[in-house]
Structure 1
Amino acid sequence: MTTALAPRPEPSASAEPCTPAEFEARLRAVTQERYHDRHPFNLRMHSGDLTPAELRRWIANRFHYQRHLPVKDALITAKLDTSALRRMWLRRIEDHDGREEGEGGIERWLRLGEAAGLNRETLLRADDVLPGVRLAVDGYVNFCRHRPPLEAIAASLTELAAPDLMRTRIDAFERHYRWIEADGLAYFRTRVDQGRRDSGEALGLVLAWARTRDGQERAVAALRFKCEVLWSLLDAVEAAGSREENP
């Protein structure tokens, strides 16, 4: 992350666990301090300072992240040991992939790209995805592949901050990027309610499962890692623009 944040001294893993309220406060503090709404690129986006080329670059590279969300959710689903939990998490895959062709969050992101003047086939081919973005996305998918359910689900808790970000983004696009057709903002509108629902479910699981101090520390570390993934993605997008300005 490009913004320096002073590391907090961590207690011993053998210490008494935090109370549920204390643990939840720690998780929420991670998103408040480290979520990518504070990244300089997002700040410029929301202030209306991005050029069309910068916005299109972000849409194209963020799509690489979006299309891998159902992949990581499938990996998490395979780790869950009850039908009720699998049904809960399977809904996330459906949210992204849709029940039928032409539905779901991935489709809505493609329509955002088209509304911004990008070609759908170009987005799907991923020819313009930056190496740093590929690395960040691969890191997140592999984290969910190899870590236990507690950590994989805790990493998803960046969704605690997503509804507010979506509302900020809708306002910014309507104010500053009116050249993008309004229908293209459907992804952001849908994620306000989905993010609130999903984060509530995931938070309930993490609070229930992390009963030891060690489990709580691993959950907090997982959420920090996910914040770093999102931050790194924007670092790569911003650096690409700087290289174009200063060849």
Structure 2
Amino acid sequence: MSSTPAPWSQEEFEAKLRGRSTSYHIHHPFHVMMAAGTLTRAQLQGWVANRFYYQISIPIKDAAILSNCDDREIRREWIQRILDHDGYHIGGIDDPGGIEAWIRLGEAVGLSRDDVTSLRYLAPAARFAVDAYVNFARRQPWQEAVASSLTELFAPHIHQQRIDTWPTQYPWVDAAGLHYFKQRLTQARRDVEHGLRFTLDYFSQTRALQERALEILQFKLDVLWALADAIMLSQCEIEIKGPKAKVAP
């Protein structure tokens, strides 16, 4: 009699993946403060400035997945993620993409384009966390990198939260800057449908693979949590050093 546990059903496996939502950074103290409207102007600006590094790293991460992937059908779907962030001009349709939308979010909170794109306010620990994720996508099997994307299961909630709360909690933010969050509502749901379908099929071959997928998802959740830690701590340093060190007046 084999002692190897049988794989969970796909329904059980999906429930376990979704159950990791308790580790999503929506529960991080910094994001709780953001939703409650208690961040200062400098703190919100610092978050936007630091998260820009994550935004520009997403298409690099996705390109790494494509470079490792030998499945044409996966590549045909996955490439849309790069276009979503980098933008495109195809057949007369001009989409500036998510990176440009994030720069406009920066402008909406009172930063200049150069403040955002220069990365001058990027905390070293934030860079380290994001680079760890990109390096994971480069070095691990592409199937594992696909599974790491499943934090998108939880993303629509946090995007909707910002859309709902920022106009009242941060009325000084130009509402046009919320376009990034609005477009990601649709894009994230589409992306997770593809990534989840693949993960449920591929990793359900054995219990060991399913448990590995859960470990990978937790790794990505930890990256996002560490990124929030880095941003929050960098803002504490700004306050300690005094108002002259703030991102913007």
Q: How far, CA to CA, are the matches of 1:216 and 1:146 in structure 2?
A: 20
Higher mean displacement: 167-176 or 61-70: 167-176
1:64 to 15, 38, 53: 53
1:20 to 10, 30, 49: 10
Does residue 216 (structure 1) correspond to residue 216 (structure 2)? The answer is no
2:230 to 208, 215, 236: 236
Does residue 109 (structure 1) correspond to residue 107 (structure 2)? The answer is no
Which residue of 2 is the match for residue 97 of structure 1? 86
2:33 to 44, 64, 79: 44
C-alpha deviation, 1:131, in angstroms: 0.5
Q: Any unmatched runs of 5+ in structure 2? A: 242-249
Which residue of 2 is the match for residue 207 of structure 1? 200
Q: TM-score w.r.t. structure 2 length?
A: 0.91
C-alpha deviation, 1:164, in angstroms: 1.1
Q: How far, CA to CA, are the matches of 1:46 and 1:38 in structure 2?
A: 10
C-alpha deviation, 1:226, in angstroms: 0.4
2:44 to 43, 47, 55: 55
Q: How far, CA to CA, are the matches of 2:111 and 2:4 in structure 1?
A: 53
State how many pairs are aligned. 234
Higher mean displacement: 100-109 or 60-69: 100-109
Which residue of 1 is the match for residue 247 of structure 2? none
Does residue 171 (structure 1) correspond to residue 164 (structure 2)? The answer is yes
C-alpha deviation, 1:102, in angstroms: 6.5
Does residue 187 (structure 1) correspond to residue 177 (structure 2)? The answer is no
Does residue 84 (structure 1) correspond to residue 73 (structure 2)? The answer is yes
Q: TM-score w.r.t. structure 1 length?
A: 0.91
What amino acid is the match of 2:6? E
**CA-to-partner distance for each residue in 1:30-59, whole Å, 9 max, x for gaps?**
1x2100000000000001001100000000
What amino acid is the match of 1:91? Q
What amino acid is the match of 1:118? L
